Amino acid sequence: MPEGPEIRQCADRIKRAIGGIQPHQVSFAFEHLKHYEPILEKKTVTQVKSRGKALLIFFDDDLIIYSHNQLYGKWYIKRAQNFPKTNRTLRLAIHTEKKSALLYSASDIEVLKKHELKTHPFLRNLGPDILDKETTYRLVLKRLKDKRFSGRQLGSLLLDQHFVAGLGNYLRCEVLFVTGLNPKLKPKQLSEQQLEALAKQIIFLTKQSYETKGITNDLGRVVLLKEKGYTRSQYRHHVFARNNRPCYACAGKVTKSVHASRPFFFCESCQPGCI
């Protein structure tokens, strides 16, 4: 499933393609949304934003297309009326004279009015968006200390969109590696120094991933690894999806386990207590 950085990058691409333009054709795959097609074809796309793992396309006159990629959804930006070769099912198409924004395979698509954002069953329960300019490490630190979250194991807490919106499995693994923490620990068991480091890395690694299109490894190390001929999949992360390979920090073993029903990758030496 795409995480916050990937959805924000997708929002940026859609905005560049169709932002400020009135589409000449909007097409939904779902019958209950088809009556919106002629309405939206008379509106201009004013904004495209991400909220955690959700994507919002704003039109003038208060209409918004809400979508969530879930596991299989994928956006494509193509030249107008050009479609990718794929076995996926087209769910939403927004065509302008020059570009087409196409959403495949996603089933969670709605048309909302602006006031409905506050009561939407998914959006209303989201924590602060990690990529929002107003989400500071101090805000994340405050939430780590909140009684609603301080007694939760980190391995499950960092996947909970109610805590903060936008983190997913690869970011969970990378944040816990960089802070040297194991997923069984709870915020209330951490020192003030550990809590501050965790809050800062949640912000830092998410923003780095957004700015670098998914790289969470140390950027200086990435340069050196590229020079040695490493592929993107080899240099992208510290530990995620690198099981049985040497840790870049200590040369110890990167191990794969399961935590909160999701694959979890860690270094046995750098993160004591994970086993």
Comparing CA positions, the residue from 264, 97, 96, 252 lying closest to residue 181 is 264
- Cβ atoms 198, 190 nearer than 8 A: yes
d(CA 24, CA 14): 16
d(CA 13, CA 7): 10
Beta strands 262-267; 63-68: pairing state: unpaired
Residue 101, classed as helix, strand or coil, is strand
d(CA 151, CA 190): 11
| Catalytic residue check, 211 | no
| Catalytic residue check, 192 | no
Start-to-end CA span in the chain (Å): 26
- Angle (CA) 52-55-61 rounded to 5° is 125
Q: List the catalytic residue out of 78, 207, 253, 262.
A: 262
| Catalytic residue check, 53 | yes
- Angle (CA) 86-45-92 rounded to 5° is 25
| Catalytic residue check, 2 | yes
Q: List the catalytic residue out of 49, 53, 99, 143.
A: 53
d(CA 219, CA 82): 36
- Active-site residue list: 2-3, 53, 262
